[in-house]
Amino acid sequence: MDTLVERARPRWGRLLKRILAIALGAVAAGIVFVLLISADARYIARAGIEEARLLLRRRSIDKLITDATTPAALRQRFALVLAARAFAADSLGLAVGKTYTTYVDVGRDTLLLVLSASRRDKLREVTWTYPIVGIVPYKGFFKASRARSESQHLEQQGLDVFLRPSGAFSTLGYLSDPLFSTAMSRDTMELVATVIHELAHNTLYVKSQTPFNESFASFVGYRGAEAFFRSRRDTIDAHRAAARWRDERTLDVFYAELARRLDSAYAEPLTSARLEQVRETLFGWAREQFRGPVGQSLETYDWRWFAQAPLNNAVIIAERLYRMDLNLFDEIYLQNNADIAETVRAIQIRVFTQPDRDPYRALYSRPGMNED
């Protein structure tokens, strides 16, 4: 008769721990491997770490307002931001979530630097691809040294580059964005317009359609700021917001014409010498326009800044990101009885219910519209 052997019961807890440890080790190894071979992955990881450091320093704006140690001028700015946020939710119909309920002092005058690049012989932007937002024609850096290094690297490839500061950014409502100290130095009109602009991103964002997203947010930001200040009987800032929106539309038309002239010139076969001559001529024409009719028509911008600022293809592309077919948004606004909330809803419905992935074509294909 065979001897009976009692088998030990399997220790499922220990087994599961081993499986989990192996799985975690594999994931960690995979992440390390991706970081080693992918510059984009390293960039995203660094950006995520920097952003996490900022988010960990968030402080409640409500508590800062009631804190006796908070300077009076700062408390007034905080109150203005909360009022603009409430107006955006209640009167403009924007998705505010927990955005701008907290504050972060970043300890420097620049939050991040944004890099754009383009070919020199065409208005063709360099693009990068990120999770959620898709393809975008710029790259942000929290550290200036990395921004300058990347800019120099692209210049060495023969590209036009443009590096500019930014005092705010949006995670589209996913991370309850705080108000950054870099936005607080702006005047009251621009501060409110910035708040509403970023909240517009929370409300409508189309993946890989940066010119539409930024231009839509510019429209909502300045038109919304005008409505906000009118509701408070602040005619000075209301008039300034309206004037800034007129300036944005003026610059939209100007940069569109400059882009048209550049595209036409770049379409011809050009030697290196001829390319430089064409660029010098057209960028010289642009500066003359800023010293002349375009600059003199600006109400809120200093034309001298535009006339003296560097110009190249990357600059033109970056300037147009926020000013693309702005008159289209105003036309829809007027069709909706100058009601921003109704305009936002009309744009959302049109963009999300049309099969065309190009949001501008979706808007231009509205009944009664003739697409250019």
pLDDT of residue 141: 92
Q: What is the pTM of this model?
A: 0.87
> In terms of Cα–Cα distance, which of 68, 64, 92 is closest to 78?
64
Q: What does the alpha-carbon distance between residue 182 and residue 163 come to, in Å, rounded to a whole number?
A: 17
pLDDT of residue 262: 98
Strand, coil or helix: 68 = coil
Q: What does the alpha-carbon distance between residue 260 and residue 266 come to, in Å, rounded to a whole number?
A: 10
Report how far apart, in Å, the C-alpha atoms of 222 and of each of 179, 229, 273, 292 are: 18, 11, 43, 25
pLDDT digits (tens, 9 = 90+) for 204-214: 999 999 999 99
pLDDT digits (tens, 9 = 90+) for 47-79: 778 888 888 899 999 999 999 999 999 999 999
pLDDT of residue 172: 84
pLDDT of residue 93: 97
Alpha carbon 294 to its chain centroid, in Å, reads 26
Count of other CB atoms within 10 angstroms of residue 66: 10
Residue in this structure with the two tokens 């003199």, named with its chain if needed: 296
Yes or no: say if 220 and 196 are a contact pair by the CB < 8 Å rule: yes
Structure tokens at 23: 């799985």
pLDDT of residue 168: 84
Please, which residues bridge with residue 117 across strands? 161
Sequence-distant (6+) residues with CB within 8 A of 208 are 133, 134, 135, 136
pLDDT of residue 50: 80
Instruction: State which H helix or E strand residue 160 sits in.
Output: strand 160-166
Sequence-distant (6+) residues with CB within 8 A of 14 are none
Domain boundaries, the chain: 11-56
Tell me which residues of the chain have a pLDDT lower than 70. 1-39, 368-372
Torsions phi, psi of 188, nearest 5?
Answer: -60, -40
